Amino acid sequence: MMIDNESAPVRVVLYEGDGADPLDATDRAGVLRSLLDRGYMVSDARGGTGGALAASAGERCFIVIGQFGGGVAPRLEDGAGGAQIATCDISGLSPDAVLSAVENARDGQPMNQPGAWKPWFPVIDYDRCTNCMQCLSFCLFDVYGVDGDNQIQVQNNDNCKTNCPACSRVCPEVAIMFPKYAAGPINGEPVSDEDLSREKMKVDISSLLGGDIYSRLRDRSEAAKSRFSKERDSDKALGERKRCLTKLAAQGEIPEEVLASLPSPEEIARKAEEAKEKANAALAANRSSD
Amino acid sequence: MSERPPILYCRCAYAQVVPDAVKDGVLDGLCASGGGFDSVADLCEMSARKDPRLAAVAEGGPVRIAACHPRAVRWLFHAAGTPLGEDAEIVNMREGDADDALGELLGGEAKC
Ligand code: SF4
Ligand code: SF4
């Protein structure tokens, strides 16, 4: 589940200063690992340094954990009155038990859910981007738009189809990254000359595929689906469909969910036209301001 | 404790693209070092959500960030509307091993 942009989820502070016994390095690492893997942000406050993350205006909820001893945690209050601070004694607790204690202390405050959502969205390298609008014309899911200066922008992260890096393949400048992608340069590795020439060849992806990429993919997906429906109860049909889609996905790097959720041909035509108009309008505005 | 910029460690918890051995080794090394540090579950997730705390990192002066490919990390901050300063150093845990990354994080010089 996503939480909204304004609220900053709980931050855990591991306190080992005056009044608390220090943890040994292995225990410290165990506690951090279990909290981070659950999605918490954790500040290890040793040395009293603020670290890289000074408390920011949006932060309202802190949980201070430490080996305070005797099972009693001190009561803390924000002098300015804005933040809620809970404390937790973790003396003798295993990392899992620390996590449970923190979950209890969180008391329903907003929290993210690692695993429930994969942060998959295009990230533009503006050092490379030439504002050509190919990505805007290509994407059917309104992920891209332009800002007030007609500069390309990722506007609707949430619309992006998980694991689909297709738009990065359309970009002639290799400017679109998906940091969670497995391979370079899409994952953010430096772009080589070889990458660049390979991507330049793919500039007109629709002509490369011999027509409208979306119609073709959709036709093939429909064919796979109808074969499946005729042999509904057969494991063989299931296997066949899976093989067919896997092959398609492997060829075009388009995930099955995207193929399955492609809109109707009419809708595709309408959306493609809309995206093209938006791109053309932005390009024209950029030309006239040059 | 040596004078070094504050450290931010990214756990890449939402879709683990950083090898476990490297990210665990780096976390162990930071926990065994003499100073504190901040750590986040997943910088990609924070960028997608435009988490206001990214601004605290970007505007807080020199910082060393242990995450993945520097090009990706820089533009993730930019995408959140909080571009990193030139003095931010990014240590890539997707390449090399934990010792390399720790050397860059805790040593005098980090490359980005
Ligand atoms: S296709 Fe690439 S170069 Fe063209 S506007 Fe999109 S990101 Fe920029
Ligand atoms: S910034 Fe890199 S290391 Fe951090 S969550 Fe994103 S992909 Fe993973």
**pLDDT for A49-90, tens place per residue?**
556 677 665 677 899 999 998 766 777 766 666 788 899 999
Domain assignment present for A117: no
Regarding predicted confidence, which is higher, A249 or A72?
A72
Q: What is the pLDDT, as a whole number, of residue A79?
A: 65
A87 and A139, same domain (yes or no): no
pLDDT band at B65 (very low <50, low <70, confident <90, very high): very high
In a domain, A113, yes or no: no
pLDDT of residue A247: 47
Report whether pLDDT(A19) > 80: yes
Is residue A211 one of the residues assigned to a domain? yes
Interatomic CA distance for residues A46 and B39, integer angstroms: 13
Distance A137 CA to ligand 1 centre (A): 10
Is A154 in the same domain as A224? Answer: yes
SS3 for chain A is CCCCCCCECCEEEECCCCCCECCCHHHHHHHHHHHHHCCCEEEECHHHCCCCCCCCCCECEEEEEEECCCCCCCCCCCCCCCCEEEEEECCCCCHHHHHHHHHHHHCCCCCCCECCECCCCCEECCCCCCCCCHHHHHCCCCCEEECCCCCEEECCHHHCCCCCCHHHHHCCCCCEECCCCCCCCCCCCCCCHHHHHHHHCCCCHHHHCCCCHHHHHHHHHHHHHHHHHHCCCCHHHHHHHHHHHHHHHHHHCCCHHHHHCCCCHHHHHHHHHHHHHHHHHHHHHHHHHC
Which residues line ligand 1 at a C-beta cut-off of 6 Å?
A 124, 129-135, 152, 171, 173, 175-176
Contacts of A57 in chain B (CB under 8 A): 52
**Pair (A154, A63) in one structural domain:** no
More confident residue, B34 or A50: B34
Higher pLDDT, A251 or A12: A12
Q: How far apart are CA A24 and CA A151, in angstroms?
A: 51
> Per the structure, how many domains does chain A have?
2
**What's the complex ipTM?**
0.94
Residues A282, A188 share a domain? yes
Domain containing A50 — which CATH number?
Answer: 3.30.379
Does A90 map to a domain?
yes
- Tell whether the model's pLDDT for residue A5 goes beyond 80: no
The CB of B12 under 6 Å from ligand 2? The reply is: yes
Q: Give me the residue from B55, B64, B72 closest to A188, CB to CB.
A: B72
Is pLDDT of B87 > 60? Answer: yes
The predicted-structure confidence for A132-148, as pLDDT tens digits, reads as follows 988 888 887 889 999 99
pLDDT exceeds 90 at position B98: yes
Rounded to whole angstroms, the Cα distance separating A105 from A63 reads: 7
**pTM of structure:** 0.84
Rounded distance, CA A217 to CA A2, Å?
A: 31
Classify strands A144-146 and B7-10 as parallel, antiparallel or unpaired. unpaired
Instruction: Residue B36: list chain A partners with CB under 8 A.
Output: 43-49, 51
Burial class (CB in 10 A: 0-12, 13-18, 19+), A207: exposed
A33 touches chain B (CB under 8 A): yes
pLDDT at A209 over 50: no
Residue A80: predicted pLDDT: 65
Would residue A5 count as lying in a domain?
Answer: no
The pLDDT of residue A1 is 44
Does the residue A112 lie in any domain?
Answer: no
**Kind of pairing between the strands at B37-40 and B63-67:** unpaired
Percent over 90 (pLDDT), chain A:
36
Residue A3 within a domain:
no
**Which of the four pLDDT bands, split at 50, 70 and 90, describes residue B80?**
very high
Q: What is the per-residue pLDDT for B106?
A: 94
Indicate whether A152 and A185 sit together in one domain: yes
pLDDT for A120 equals 93
CA closest to A179 among chain B residues: B72
Q: Is residue A6 situated within a structural domain?
A: no
Q: Residue A149: give the domain boundaries.
A: 123-289
Residue A48 pLDDT grade (very low, low, confident, very high; cuts 50, 70, 90): low
pLDDT for A169 equals: 82
Average of per-residue pLDDT values in chain B: 92
